[in-house]
């Protein structure tokens, strides 16, 4: 909680208390006072930007050397976003001091971009993939609803520890997943457990769900996987439109590879139960 409130505290000190204090020290005229306040605010913003960029880089370095909770890893994006915002503010102040009202074009364009990045439609990360397997819905459900099978068809998952055996709605599933050089620690909750029909889990932070739906079809069982979620705000701002599309593309590719592995494993051993 302290780490998450630190950025807010720093921003409050930089942009509320200190500029007001400096402004109070000058009584030589409104124009000079305003210029002084803008100069100090821009300088403080630049210094704060360097601090937050440094924190983000330090955190990124440490992430490669330890297991990181998934929720905490997004703190890196928060620091980068805050650093970028402070840097943009510093540049906006400088442009305003030099060009006056014309200098406001840059921050207005930046504000429009941030508003778009914050919108739900821009942050949506939804997709659906499906396969048909030569297996019964019951056997397919038994396979996909067993978390300890995840490393068999999701190469990035390294270990899984379900809280309950057998699982039921509300059970917690803790696992570790490899993301580049970083090992993330994740906890999901079972949100759907309907034998032969549906199995799903959900994340709290960032909010996301993944649900398998099974149905009998021509040639066997249709297994459809649906993911629904939103990219965290800070990550959306930093990565931009192309970054968000690339991230969604990687998610779809990884899940499709996993679904193909499920098909291969189930058809190699049609009677697999766990």
CA proximity to 192, closest of 204, 166, 165, 210? 210
Per-residue pLDDT for 192 more than 90? yes
pLDDT of residue 4: 46
Q: Which residues contact 129 (CB under 8 A, 6 or more apart)?
A: 224, 225, 252, 255, 256, 259
pLDDT of residue 134: 92
pLDDT of residue 32: 65
CA proximity to 266, closest of 227, 228, 212? 212
pLDDT of residue 64: 59
125-268: what CATH class?
alpha beta
Q: What percent of the chain has pLDDT over 90?
A: 32
Q: How far apart are CA 197 and CA 215, in angstroms?
A: 7
- Reported as a single tens digit per residue, the pLDDT across 3-61 is 445 555 555 555 554 444 444 444 444 456 667 767 777 778 788 888 888 877 777 76
| Residue spans of alpha helices (H) in the chain | 2-12, 18-24, 30-63, 70-99, 105-118, 120-123, 137-144, 150-153, 233-268
Per-residue pLDDT for 153 more than 60? yes
Output the six-digit token pair for 52. 């937050």
pLDDT of residue 273: 42
Q: What is the DSSP letter of 274?
A: -
Q: Which residues contact 260 (CB under 8 A, 6 or more apart)?
A: 131
Q: Which residues contact 141 (CB under 8 A, 6 or more apart)?
A: 195, 196, 197, 199, 212, 214
Q: What is the DSSP letter of 127?
A: E
Output the six-digit token pair for 105. 């074009």
pTM of the complete model: 0.72
Q: Where are the domains of the chain?
A: 2-118, 125-268
Torsion of the alpha carbons at 81, 175, 215 and 264, rounded to the nearest 10 = 110
pLDDT of residue 274: 37
Q: How far apart are CA 259 and CA 251, in angstroms?
A: 12
pLDDT of residue 3: 46
- Reported as a single tens digit per residue, the pLDDT across 66-117 is 666 676 677 777 888 888 888 888 888 777 777 777 777 887 887 888 788 7
């Amino acid at each position: 909680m302290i780490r998450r409130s630190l950025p807010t505290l720093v921003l409050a000190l930089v942009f509320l208390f200190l500029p007001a204090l400096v402004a109070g020290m000058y009584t030589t005229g409104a124009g000079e006072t305003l210029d002084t306040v803008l100069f100090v605010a821009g300088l403080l913003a630049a210094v704060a930007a360097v601090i937050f960029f440094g924190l983000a880089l330090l955190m990124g370095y440490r992430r490669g050397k330890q297991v990181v909770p998934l929720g905490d890893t997004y703190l890196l994006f928060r620091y980068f976003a805050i650093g970028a915002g402070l840097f943009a503010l510093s540049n906006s102040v400088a442009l305003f001091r030099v060009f006056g009202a014309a200098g406001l074009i840059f921050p207005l364009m930046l504000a429009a971009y941030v508003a778009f990045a914050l919108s739900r439609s821009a942050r949506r990360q939804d997709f659906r993939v499906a396969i048909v397997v030569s297996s019964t819905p019951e056997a397919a459900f038994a396979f996909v609803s067993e978390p300890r099978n995840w490393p068999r068809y999701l190469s990035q998952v390294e270990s899984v520890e379900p809280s309950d055996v057998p699982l039921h709605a509300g059970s917690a599933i803790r696992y570790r997943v490899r993301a580049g050089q970083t090992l993330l620690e994740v906890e999901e909750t079972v949100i759907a457990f309907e034998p032969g029909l549906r199995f799903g889990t959900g994340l709290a932070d960032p909010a996301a769900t993944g649900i398998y739906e099974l149905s009998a079809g021509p040639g066997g069982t249709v297994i459809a996987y649906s993911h629904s979620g939103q990219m965290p705000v800070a990550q959306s701002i930093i990565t931009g439109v192309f970054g968000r599309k690339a991230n969604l593309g990687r998610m779809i590719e990884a899940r499709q590879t996993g679904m193909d592995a499920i098909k291969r494993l189930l058809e190699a051993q049609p009677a697999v139960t766990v």
